[in-house]
Amino acid sequence: MLNEVADGVWVRQSEWVWSNAIVVRGEGGLILVDPGINGSELNELGDHLDRLGIPVVAGFSTHPHWDHLLWHSRFGGVPRYATPACAQVADGAQERAQAMAAQSASGIPLELVALVTPLPADGGPVPGEIIEHQAHALGHAAILLADRGVLLAGDMLSDVLIPLLDPRQSDQVGAYATALDRLGDASRHVDVLVPGHGAVAKGSEVADRLAADHAYIDALRRGEEPVDARLDQDWLSGIHQSNLEQAGHSSG
């Protein structure tokens, strides 16, 4: 299913960790943001795109993690963009991303993993405003489509995933606080929020998502155990524990 969540913005959710492949209509054609995950799903997305009948002109990866660096030959040999910092990390992480893609999902065209290039300063074919920050990953980008009231949040503001501190960077609590402030400013223009994983938020749910991530990060900063409904999911306990340890408040 390809759902149109706003004017010229479509979402297809994967069975793998509720990952959202996002299709955005730009001036020259479609931009595919973080298409994923399984090969069969990428192929099905190709069918949806055929039915839309609008050419794909570019890809965009929100951050340099394998599940956001995928592609399929059916989408064409168009440029796949990322922030310059993301592109640099992805360039050095291709083998690791390929290995993780092969291990975690099925049928992914591994030769096309992580082939991203720096987005030109004027944004090239990618519409809207890029909001770049360092929370969760270096060069992490959200895309604000203010005229359509849409924020594509990357791996922030999810209803299923808690914040996941980047173990390769210091002061991720600070980076999250900064990023959430910037996304909060952007959200004043937003009715529809599309996270990298989980349900699309609409209307007042957008503020709820911001509040949940803020509360989690604030608790880490204070050295307290967060009160967070997402932590009811047992599979997140390892991630949560490493967040606590990285924030310097390990409960041991």
Site residues, Zn ion (CB under 5 A): 67, 155, 196
Residue 93 to residue 4: CA distance in whole angstroms: 33
CB of 196 to Zn ion, least distance (A): 5
CB of 194 to Zn ion, least distance (A): 13
Cβ distance to Zn ion smaller for residue 67 or 159: 67
On the CB side of 28, how many CA atoms lie within 13 Å of its CA? Answer: 12
What torsion, rounded to 10 degrees, do the Cα atoms 170, 173, 174, 175 define? 70
Give the other-Cβ count within 10 Å of 224's Cβ.
Answer: 10
Cβ distance to Zn ion smaller for residue 80 or 148: 80
Cβ distance to Zn ion smaller for residue 19 or 187: 19
Q: Quote the DSSP letter at residue 32.
A: E
Cβ distance to Zn ion smaller for residue 25 or 159: 159
Measured in residues, the chain has a length of: 252
DSSP bridge pairs for 132:
141
CB of 36 to Zn ion, least distance (A): 9
CB of 120 to Zn ion, least distance (A): 25
